[in-house]
Amino acid sequence: SKERPMRHAGLRKRDEACGREARAAPCSQRPLVGHNCLYDLMFCLRHFHAPLPPSLPDFKATVRRLLPVVWDTKLLAHAAGCYPDTALGPLHEAVRASVRADGSAGSVSLAEGFGRYDGGGMCHEAGCAE
């Protein structure tokens, strides 16, 4: 059908955009922020860079070279030890509640075009934006 070639063209365009982002990441020095993102890192490395290295130390060295700053919010929340549930939805709610309760936590502002993430209704969305 006519829909299938258009769909594949859209996926190809998305993959090319993600590939450009992946290649630019080491130069940008921007942190990559994910939640429980080991598999996401493995997927991106495999599909946008090269086959996965044969060992965990090699994988970690490759990720550090390509993405020098990675923040895994699940790992950070677990290490903090003050959140009983580090799944993304419950963690999001707990952090928002603590900000409302004492007002001392820093604020988070969303970039233009990302307003749909405000309020917790969409706390997880995997993939690349076009």
Domain boundaries, the chain: 1-72, 82-125
pTM above 0.75, yes or no: no
Q: How far apart are CA 43 and CA 41, in angstroms?
A: 5
Q: How far apart are CA 20 and CA 48, in angstroms?
A: 9
C-alpha distances in angstroms, 97 versus 42, 102, 108?
33, 9, 14
Q: In tens digits, what is the pLDDT along the chain, a chain of 130 residues?
A: 555 555 566 556 656 665 665 565 555 677 889 999 999 999 999 999 999 999 999 999 999 999 999 999 999 999 999 999 999 999 988 888 887 666 666 666 778 887 777 765 665 665 544 4
